[in-house]
Amino acid sequence: MDTYVCGGCGWHYNGDTPFDKLPDDYTCPMCGTAKSLFKKVEG
Amino acid sequence: MAGALELKKGVYAVGALDPDLPEFDEALTPYGTTYNSYLVVDEQVTLIDFVRANFAAELLENIASIIGDRLIDNIIVNHCEPDHSGALPAIVKAYPAAQLYGTANAQKALAAYYPDSTYTFNVVGEGDKLDTGELTFHFIPMPMVHWPDSMSSYLPARKILFSNDALGQHIGSGERIDTEVAKEKLMDCAQNYYANIVMPWGMQVTKLLGQVAQIEVDMVCPSHGVVLTTFLPDIIAAYARWASGATDGHQVTIVYDSMWGSTAEIAEKLREEYEASKHHVNVFSLADTHYSVVIGDLIESRYIFVGSSTRYNHMLPSVAGFLSYLEGLKPKDRVGLAFGAYGWSGESVDDIAAALSSMGFEMKDPIKVQWRMAPEHN
């Protein structure tokens, strides 16, 4: 499965909601980096 | 034992000195370090950060030397790494009514670190304030400078920023204020600290500097090292340069380890070549230099050349360790070159080149030599 990694701090998104269904104003809970700066890691 | 020191009216340094500490978070600390804690005495008494656990008694003594039997009302927890929070259990035991203030991430980490301690924690964020009578603290979260929970606190009435791990230095040789330290030592220590601790977070540092530029500050009280006053503009300018990730096209850092000197000869040849073309070159052997010293040097080097002998089909462990450490610091805008001598297989050069490439380095042609360079190339 693809995972999403924060471009700011490297935190891995692991939530139940698919990443692309998260609101546009979603930010990294660790460092506050915007959703648009997360990177997809092919899994 | 450092003792308490008044910095400005009602603002005291009450932290601890650790002059003999050999290394911190993997980086050598030739001057040791300090664990800074500050006490602000107003209608209410506020403590800013703790110290490492083994210095708790010293912190309590310093606090008592200022406030005697008065109690601490508030504790601002700017960062929960154990060098700043280690004394939490002792302090909340001595001052159980104190209210703690910090970010949501700090609350979670402290709960995990100190499950046996009881305290009241108030989560604060951007724009939140704490009134202590005449004075008001403004909280400025600065996630990833150094951990997700990190925060700085601003006291406008005194023009002081309590910057925690930002703008710090590992200077534990006894000086308390920047003007007591030779400027060159201060800037070297600040550079080494930034390179080894803050370097991956340039984006977040830039954001913080933008916020600091909007406020009036003439004193910065960091969590390690000396309080910044006169040299604050120099440190801020250096941080802005380092945080931008910009490198200097005339600086070359060459780092290697060598079994029998053949890889060292390649390093020296590279030094001669680049010095001849007016570059400033520093060469380090990992056999006698700790990797954190090399990192302190290479922060603005455009060129980072890495060499290793091949030992049993691998690069030397010292070089592998250096590369792993370097990768974590996310250096940007670099040109790399892999070099090394080998006896019969030579994997080290390809492995170093692959490691530097994966960090986004633009790579120059590698130099791979069997046994030893021919004399005409020496």
**Which two tokens mark B18?**
């650790």
pLDDT tens-digit series, residues B32-71: 999 999 999 999 999 999 999 999 999 999 999 999 999 9
Q: How far apart are CA B154 and CA B221, in angstroms?
A: 10
Residue B58 CB-density burial (10 A; 0-12 exposed, 13-18 middle, 19+ buried): buried
Contact A31 B141 (CB under 8 A): no
**Interface confidence: ipTM more than 0.90:** no
CB contact under 8 A, A9 and B143: yes
Domain tally for chain A? 1
Sign, Cα dihedral of B129, B36, B2, B51? positive
B362 band by pLDDT with thresholds 50, 70 and 90? very high
The CATH number assigned to the domain holding A22 equals 2.20.28.10
Topology (CATH level 3) of domain B5-244 = Metallo-beta-lactamase; Chain A (3.60.15)
| Average pLDDT for B130-154 | 96
Question: Residue B1: pLDDT band by 50, 70, 90 thresholds?
Answer: low
B141 interaction partners in chain A (CB closer than 8 Å): 32
Q: Assess A8–B contact: CB distance below 8 Å, yes or no.
A: yes
For testing contact with chain A, the best of B144, B151, B208 (most A CBs within 10 A): B144
B248-377: which CATH architecture? 3-Layer(aba) Sandwich (3.40)
Interface contact A41, partner B, CB < 8 A:
no
Task: Report the C-alpha gap between A38 and A28 in whole angstroms.
Answer: 9
Which candidate in B151, B203, B329 is best for mutational testing of the A interface (most A CBs within 10 A)? B203
Q: Write down the pLDDT at residue B205.
A: 93
CB contact under 8 A, A8 and B105: no
pTM of the predicted model as reported, rounded to 2 decimal places: 0.93
Query: What's the pLDDT tens digit per position in B227-266?
Result: 999 999 999 999 999 999 999 999 999 999 999 999 999 9
CA dist B175 to A22, B188, B223, B225, B282, Å?
50, 15, 14, 8, 29
Q: Which residue of A has its CA nearest to B143?
A: A31
Q: Are B15 and B87 in contact (CB under 8 A)?
A: no
The C-alpha of B51 sits at a distance from chain A's nearest C-alpha, in angstroms, of: 24
| B61: closest CA of chain A, how far (Å) | 35
CA distance B27 to B122: 33
As a whole number of angstroms, the distance between CA A20 and CA A25 comes to 12
Range list for CATH 3.40.50.360 in chain B: 248-377
Which residues between 11 and 40 in chain A have a beta carbon less than 8 angstroms from any beta carbon of chain B?
A: 11, 29-32
How many Cα atoms occupy the beta-carbon half-sphere of B331 within 13 Å? 29
- Count of residues making up chain B: 378
Other CB atoms within a 10 A radius of the CB of residue B190 amount to 27
β-pairing verdict for B45-48 and B74-76: parallel
CB contact under 8 A, A32 and B203: no
Residues B315-359 have pLDDT tens digits of 999 999 999 999 999 999 999 999 999 999 999 999 999 999 999
Distance CA B191, CA B248 (A): 15
Measure the CA–CA gap between B365 and B359, rounded to whole angstroms: 17
Element (H, E) at B251: strand B248-257
Beta strand B160-164 pairing with B151-155: antiparallel
Chain B positions touching chain A (beta carbons under 8 Å): 105, 141, 143-144, 148, 203-204
Q: Taking CB atoms and an 8 Å limit, are B148 and A9 in contact across chains?
A: yes
Contact A30 B203 (CB under 8 A): no
A36 lies in which domain range? 3-41
Q: Per-residue pLDDT averaged across B195-218, rounded?
A: 94
Give me the residue label for tokens 């590369």: B323
Where in chain B do CATH 3.60.15.10 domains reside? 5-244
Q: What is the pLDDT of residues B158-194, one digit of tens each?
A: 999 999 999 999 999 999 999 999 999 999 999 999 9
Interior/surface letters B245-258, b for 16+ CB within 10 angstroms, e for the rest: bebeeebbbbbbbb
Nearest to B204 among A11, A29, A31 (CB): A31
